[in-house]
Amino acid sequence: MKLKKLLFYSITVFGLLFILNSCGDESANPAPEIDLISESGSITTDISMDGDTTFKIVFSVRDDSKKIKKVEVTSTVDGRVTLQLDTTINETYTKIKLNRRTLARKASEKWTITASDDAGISSSKSITITTTTDKAGAPLTSYDKDALGAPLRVWNFLGSKAGAFDLLDGAPKVSGDNNADKDLQDSVTVSELAAWPHRWTSKNATMFKKVTSYTYETISNTGQLDAAWDASGTAVKWMVVNTGDLIIAKLRGTDTKVLIKVTDVVVTPGTGENNDYVQFNFKKKI
* pLDDT tens digit sequence for 116-157: 999 999 999 999 999 999 999 999 999 999 888 999 999 999
Q: Which of 131, 165, 194 is the last residue of a domain?
A: 131
121 and 174 in a single domain? The answer is no
Q: Where are the alpha helices (DSSP H) in the chain?
A: 2-27, 222-230
Distances from the Cα of 122 to the Cα of 49, 89, 118, 119, angstroms: 30, 14, 9, 9
Structural domains in the chain (count): 2
pTM for this model (two decimals): 0.82
Read off the DSSP letter of residue 185.
E
* Radius of gyration for the alpha carbons in the chain, expressed in angstroms and rounded: 28
- Could you read off the pLDDT of 7-30 as tens digits, one per residue? 444 444 444 444 444 444 445 678
Q: Are residues 125 and 147 in the same domain?
A: no
> In 3D, which of 198, 74, 188 has the Cα closest to residue 124?
74
Domain that holds residue 46: 33-131
| Range 232-236, long-range pairs (CB < 8 A, 24+ positions) | 233/209, 234/209, 235/207, 235/208, 235/209, 236/207, 236/208, 236/209
CB 82 within 8 A of CB 53: no
Residue 54 and residue 160 in one domain: no
Looking at the fold, whether 164 and 269 belong to one and the same domain comes out as yes
- What is the per-residue pLDDT across 195-204, written as a single tens digit (0 to 9) for each? 899 999 999 9
Residues 153 and 261 in one domain: yes
Q: Is 222 in the same domain as 187?
A: yes
Do 103 and 154 have their domain in common? no
More confident site: 153 or 213:
153
